Chains A and B, each alone.
Chain A
Amino acid sequence: MTTLSGTAGAPNQDARPLLRFVAFGMVVVLASSLLLVRLFTLQVSSSAEYAALADANRTVLQALPSTRGLVYDRSGNPLVTNVASYSVKIRPADLPDSRRDAVIAALAALVGKDPADINVAIDSNPGSRYDLVRVASDVDPSVADFIAESGQDLPGVEVDVETQRKYVLGPLFSQILGYTGPINASELEQLGDQGYLPDDLIGRAGVESVYESQLRGSYGLETVERDASGRKLQVLTTNREPVPGDSLVLSIDTRIQQLAQKALMWGMQRAHLKRGGFIVMNPSTGEILAMVSLPTYDDNLFQQGISTKDYQAYLNNPGKPLLNTLTADQYPPGSTFKMITAIAALADKRLTPETRLHTAGYLTLGGARFVDWNGRGFGMCNLTCGFEHSSDTYFYQAAARVGIDRLAYWAHQFGLGAPTGIDLPTEASGIIPSNQWKMETLGEPIYPGDVYHAGIGQGYDAVTPLQLLNAYAAVIDGGTLHAPRLVHDILGPDGSIVQPFEPTVIRKINVDPNILRIMRMNTRQVVLSGHTWNLRDLPIVVGGKTGTAEYGIPDAQGRLPYHEWFVGYVPKNPWKTASDPGGLKAMARTDSNLAFIAFTYEANTVGNVSTEICKYFLQLYFGIKHDYRMPALLDKGNFYRD
């Protein structure tokens, strides 16, 4: 500062108070030091902390969806493909409340949806307000372009390219494949730590649901740079690569599935039925070759976000198209259950095949009459006679000899009254009554009449068609009960088999194989006796058993409605030969690979429509030119009307 004083002597020294200049200079030094100290604490001392904050500002972890696995039929034809499609999503946080109605109305008009459906999608969004909500899938590319460019007019609306499931054959496989749909809040809560996102899709129904974890693969993770408005700018690093999902090869043969659907549709149309089902199975492995439940739905509709209108239509359809008639609901098995009663009686040595019982028009028990279906009985009958004519009075007596608990034991041995473990969601378990069951359920003991009814598959008995076919499969196969399977092999992303098919054995039933052989031949006798009309005349050897299962409430004439069953099979090389014209030798074998069941709900037809359906299926399957069907028998009318 000496230099400053050194300049003193200038004329206007009075106007330059030295101390004020010094003071000002000190203020400058002080102020700039203060700034530099504060800058030092920010930029040097706390630099790492602020750098982390800046990174957190600009980066966001984002899931990298994996490619969902495909589903093929048994010959390798794709049943599901992934196609790229545009979907429209909304980030509710970016949609101002004041403009919400206008934006949704405009968007609804663009994508052709009901504004109410979009509002429901937003309000049921399982994520937070900052998570995207899918409001429309499979949007036309030109519409998607338009929406993408209308950012100002449609705040919070984004267009996303996603892969979408296309179910190639649509309704033919809907009940088997199911579909994928938006994840809901409770699922997200459960599965969130497995990498599910709020706008994720998850398998619903069918194998899409059961094999969700395999099909989904695992999502990758990437660090994405974004700007202040949340727009994604670039991928900084890929933290984890996504692993594509595995693909499924079904045991279903598309050709057999188509034939089964064709036969079932014909029978149901002919008999004016609302519900029915048909399953074809390889009894020696448990592989399901065809499974048709009608009416059905179109899984592609769900894929695009089903409209409320379409969904209500499905719910209101009396045929329950969303329900798999064959696995998810249970019905009295009727006379088809006589197979179990017969095996129980033989295995417990309550009867021999030759034991003759008197069959009459009815049996009397405590003043009540238990009638035979034909009202007359079949005279003195051995097992074959009772089985081939399906004599109710024969099996009342057989059941009474076995007793309810042993009957239940054998039914359970053959898998009745319990889920089969097929790879489909929501399987009904069925009911096989026993003393314990009735005490627990109804608080009453079993009465003798209950035993009679149980012996012919009526009363409390209820099974799913799949259970029943599987029980017969165990008889046909010679005593092994398999878990039925829809998925044959699981393929890795590279197409190699990562999990080959292996039959799943539930149990080897401890029963004399001879008894099963006798019962197989008896199923052939059912056909040979003419009880099943002219299955006998087919050029192939068929065995089987009919069932007419009453249920519900009697009509004005006291007649009950009834379902109709036919469960049957053909041996390997089923064509009739001169050396075995009746086919009984073929039936003695256990080499069948084709068993089937037809179930018709509330059929009430004079002729057994399920038998006709099976007959038609066999004609189609074996390419039999001569038509053996008897459609006149299927005109609607009650079996008992004459």
Chain B
Amino acid sequence: MGLASVRAAPVRDWPNSKVGAVWRAFDLQLATYAALLAGLGLVMAYSNSASAGGDAFAGGSVFLRGLLWAAIALVVFVVATAFDYHWLQTFSWPLYLAQLGLLVVTLGIGSGVGGSSRWVSILGLQFQFSEIAKILMIVVLANYLGARKGRLDSLWSILGACILVGPPLLLVLLQPDLGTSLVFAAILAGMLFMSGASLRWLAVLAGVALASMPFIWTYVLRDYQRGRLTAFLDPLGDLQGAGYQLWQAQIAVGSGGWFGKGLTNGTQNALDFLPVQNTDFVFAILAEELGYIGAIVVVGLFVALIWRILAAAWGSRDPFGTMFGCGLAAMILFQLVVNVGMVIGIMPITGIPLPFVTHGGASLISLAGGLGILESIRIRQGRAEW
């Protein structure tokens, strides 16, 4: 199976055969799947801009902004690939502080819808620092867990990881951005599980989390959040409110059929029946216009991507690399399931973007950075023995 290729050839003569070895170690499949997903996102952005009656190439259109972000993301990817990821371990604690700093800045000067503060405007472009914080969280956790190999049976190690995640999670929850804070929790859970932490303690932890749900429901969540979380159970019961979005999304997806209505032909898209169709609900429009076939392609690309990420994690010779890959895989899987699940009515509305496809600069750039780090991990495995 392809997994056999996961293992990078030991690069003993690194300086001499550097270019060739690097190229061999570089996972082209990983980059290709990510590029295809990002490309689909751009296609949907084009469709959305064009069918809204506007010129997709007009200045400031979703499509043009998407192109711009994709270009920046490519640069970030290349830089991250070239950068030696070992330095990340060195700078783990400063990065953690930087992550907290970004989130505090967002709370302080950020703007958002209805009194929330989720993004910061830089040069006229809106930027969500919490997206970058997610990658930084993975770095910090990978460093923490990687450094504690073999000691993860201890409750204190597990609690230490939880304490690390606590402050950024709370800062994001204060924005308020329930979705992103859930992603933090998912990253934590995924990485703890993959680190080999004691299943017993993990089960206890999960039990505590479940037990605290009623408390969180009553005292932490706001009314609109509760409404959004329960609307998916009966979207028709609240058609004037949160249910409207879900119902229109299901109509969009369902009316797509096998092959979809064709790009720019989605009526739910073009006629604005589906709000925020180019951000969190982009998958609904994709399923409407490209049909079940398109949906299979998207889900398939994600599965392939996660497989390549896991393969890279497996191939890493140092625990940091393994943990980093696992964190990235957990994040992408969680976002995929929750976002698509939300669109098709089996998950509550939480405002989590679909990785690569949803338009949003910070998300794409963070993911490009994450994948770049992963490539960096792959091509630098030989150095451990060098």
Binding site for B on A (CB under 8 A): 3-4, 6-7, 10-12, 14-17, 20-21, 23-25, 27-29, 31-32, 34-36, 38-40, 42-44, 46-47, 49-51, 53-55, 57-58, 225-229, 233
Q: Are B271 and A15 in contact (CB under 8 A)?
A: no
Interface contact A54-B267, CB-CB below 8 Å: yes
11 A-B pairs with C-beta separation under 8 A: A11-B317, A12-B317, A12-B319, A32-B302, A34-B346, A35-B337, A35-B344, A36-B295, A42-B344, A54-B252, A57-B271
Q: Across the interface, which residues of A come within 8 angstroms of B316, CB to CB? A: 12
**Once bound together, how far apart are the Cα atoms of A23 and B296, in whole Å?**
23
B138 within 8 A of A: no
Is B299 in contact with chain A by the CB < 8 A criterion?
yes
Instruction: List B contacts of A51 (CB < 8 A).
Output: 254-255, 257
Q: Is B150 an interface residue (CB 8 A)?
A: yes
Q: Is the CB–CB distance between A28 and B303 below 8 Å?
A: yes
Q: Which chain A residues border B287 with CB–CB below 8 Å? A: 39, 43
Does B37 sit within 8 A of A, measured CB to CB?
Answer: no
CB nearest to B254 among chain A residues = A50
Interface centre among A3, A42, A55 (most CB of B within 10 A): A42
The segment from B1-9, B355-363, B364-372 that touches chain A is B1-9
The answer to whether the Cβ of B307 comes within 8 Å of any Cβ in the partner chain is: yes
Please tell me if the beta carbons of B333 and A31 are within 8 angstroms of each other in the complex: yes
Chain A contacts of B167 at CB under 8 A? none
A6 touches B333 (CB 8 A): no
B272:A227 contact, CB within 8 angstroms: yes
Do A14 and B299 touch (CB < 8 A)?
Answer: no
With an 8 A cutoff between CB atoms, is B329 at the interface?
yes
Q: A4-B3, A11-B317 are in contact. Are A36 and B299 (CB under 8 A)?
A: yes
What secondary structure prevails in chain B residues at the interface with A?
helix
- B329, A39: Cβ atoms closer than 8 Å: no
Where the two chains meet, the residues of B that have a C-beta atom closer than 8 Å to any C-beta of A are 1, 3-4, 6-7, 146, 149-150, 190, 193-196, 248, 250-258, 267-268, 270-273, 287-288, 291-292, 295-296, 299-300, 302-303, 306-307, 310, 313-319, 322-323, 326, 329-330, 333, 336-337, 340-341, 344-346, 384
Cα distance A27–B336 in the bound complex, in angstroms: 12
Chain A residue with the shortest CB-CB distance to B381 = A10
User: Is A50 in contact with B255, judged by CB distance below 8 angstroms?
Assistant: yes
The CB with the most chain B CB atoms within 10 A, among A6, A10, A15, A24, is that of: A15
**Nearest-CB distance from A101 to chain B (Å)?**
25
Among residues of B, the one whose C-beta sits closest to the C-beta of A42 is: B254
Residues of B within 8 A of A11 (CB): 317, 384
A35 interface neighbour in B6, B149, B288, B340, Cβ under 8 Å: B340
* Complexed CA–CA distance, A217 and B267 (Å): 35
Q: Is the CB of B257 within 8 A of A228?
A: no
20 new A-B contacts, CB < 8 A, other than A7-B7, A44-B258, A58-B271, are: A7-B6, A11-B384, A12-B322, A15-B196, A24-B193, A24-B326, A24-B329, A24-B330, A28-B333, A29-B303, A35-B337, A39-B296, A42-B253, A42-B345, A43-B287, A47-B254, A50-B254, A50-B255, A54-B254, A228-B273
Contacts of B1 in A (CB 8 A): 3
Contact between A32 and B303 (Cβ–Cβ < 8 Å)? yes
Smallest CB-CB separation from A225: which chain B residue?
B271
Contact A12 B255 (CB under 8 A): no
Give the distance to chain A from B53, nearest Cβ to Cβ, in Å.
Answer: 9
User: Contact partner of B146 among A3, A15, A54, CB < 8 A?
Assistant: A15
A25 to B330: give the CA distance in the assembly, Å: 11
Q: Which of A12, A28, A55, A226 contacts B307 (CB 8 A)?
A: A28
- In the complex, which residues of chain B have a beta carbon less than 8 angstroms from the beta carbon of A7? 3-4, 6-7, 314-315
**Chain B residues, CB < 8 A from A228:** 271-273
| Contact indicator A15/B6 (Cβ below 8 Å) | no
Give Cα A53 to B271, complex, Å. Answer: 14
- Which of chain B's residues have a CB closer than 8 A to the CB of A27? 333
B66 → chain A closest CB, angstroms: 23
Look across to chain B and name the residue whose beta carbon is closest to the beta carbon of A23: B193
A36 to B336, CA, bound (A): 12
User: How distant is the Cα of A233 from the Cα of B273 in the complex, in angstroms?
Assistant: 13
Q: Is the interface of A mostly helix, strand, loop or mixed?
A: helix
Residues of chain B with a CB closer than 8 A to A6's CB = 4
Shortest Cβ distance from B110 into chain A, in angstroms? 28
Distance of B323 from chain A, by nearest CB (Å): 8
Contact of A38 among B272, B296, B346 (CB under 8 A): B346
Q: A44-B258, A227-B272 are in contact. Are A39 and B344 (CB under 8 A)?
A: yes
- Contact in complex: A43, B150 (CB < 8 Å): no
Partner of B310 from the list A25, A38, A55, A57 (CB cut-off 8 Å) is A25
**Shortest distance in angstroms between A12's beta carbon and chain B's nearest beta carbon?**
5
**Contact check: which of A24, A35, A39, A233 meets B271 at CB < 8 Å?**
A233
A316 to B313: give the CA distance in the assembly, Å. 94
A43, B253: Cβ atoms under 8 Å?
yes
Instruction: Give the shortest distance, in Å, between B176 (CB) and chain A (any CB).
Output: 27
User: Which B residues are CB-close (under 8 A) to A50?
Assistant: 250-251, 253-255
Closest 6 CB pairs of A and B: A50-B254, A54-B255, A15-B319, A227-B271, A43-B292, A17-B196
* Chain B residues, Cβ within 8 Å of A39: 253, 287, 292, 295-296, 299, 340, 344
Would you give the shortest CB distance from B321 to chain A, in whole angstroms?
Answer: 9
A15 contacts B149, CB within 8 Å?
Answer: yes
User: How close is A334's CB to chain B, nearest CB, in angstroms?
Assistant: 70
**Given the complex, which residues of A lie within 8 Å of B193, measured CB to CB?**
20, 23-24
CA distance A6 to B2 in the complex (A): 12
B262 to chain A, nearest CB (A): 14
Report how far A28 CA is from B296 CA in the complex, Å.
14
B150 to chain A: which residues have CB within 8 Å?
A: 14
B257 interface neighbour in A12, A24, A44, Cβ under 8 Å:
A44
Say whether, besides A12-B317, A40-B292, A227-B272, A31 and B255 are in contact (CB < 8 Å): no
Which partner residue on chain A sits nearest B319 by CB separation?
Answer: A15
Using Cβ atoms and an 8 Å threshold, which residues of chain B touch A226? 271
Cβ–Cβ contact A58 & B273, under 8 A: yes
Task: Specify which chain B residues have a CB less than 8 angstroms from the CB of A58 in the assembled complex.
Answer: 267-268, 271, 273
Closest Cβ neighbor of B315 among chain A residues: A7
Return chain A residues, CB-CB under 8 Å to B288: 54
- Chain A nearest Cβ from B245, distance in angstroms: 11
CB contacts (< 8 Å) of A21 on chain B: these are 194, 310, 313-314
A233 and B53 alpha carbons, distance in the complex (Å): 11
Complex contact B254–A43 (CB within 8 A): yes
How close is A324's CB to chain B, nearest CB, in angstroms? Answer: 52
| Contact of A53 with B329 in the complex, beta carbons under 8 Å | no
Given contacts A12-B317, A16-B322, A35 and B341 within 8 Å (CB-CB)? yes
B330 proximity list for chain A (CB < 8 A): 24
The answer for the CA separation of A6 and B250 in the assembled complex, in Å, is 45
Tell me the minimal C-beta distance from B40 to chain A in angstroms.
Answer: 15
Q: In the complex, what residue of chain B is closest to A20 when comparing beta carbons?
A: B194
Contact A53 B251 (CB under 8 A): yes
Known: A25-B310, A35-B344, A39-B253. A229 touches B329 (CB 8 A): no
Query: Could you tell me if B291 and A43 are in contact, using CB atoms closer than 8 angstroms?
Result: yes
Q: Which residues of chain A are within 8 angstroms of B4 by Cβ–Cβ distance?
A: 3, 6-7
Nearest A residue to B2 via CB reads A3
Q: Give the chain B neighbours of A16 by CB distance below 8 A.
A: 313-314, 322
A129 CB → nearest B CB, Å: 14
Contacts of A233 in B (CB 8 A): 271
Q: Which residues of A contact B255 (CB under 8 A)?
A: 47, 50-51, 53-55
Tell me, in angstroms, the Cα distance from A70 to B322 when the chains sit together: 86
The residue of chain B having its C-beta at the shortest distance from the C-beta of A233 within the complex is B271
**B337 and A31 within 8 A (CB):** yes
Residues on B with C-beta less than 8 A from A57 are 248, 251, 267-268, 271, 273
Complex CA gap A12/B329 in Å reads 19
A30 to chain B, nearest CB (A): 10
Closest beta carbon of chain A to B173's beta carbon, Å: 25
- Collect the chain A residues with CB atoms within 8 Å of residue B337's CB: 31, 34-35
How far apart sit A38 and B283, CA to CA, in the bound complex (Å)?
14
Instruction: Report A578 CB to chain B, min CB distance, Å.
Output: 87
> In the complex, what distance in Å separates the CA atom of A422 from the CA atom of B252?
60
Contacts of B270 in A (CB 8 A): 227
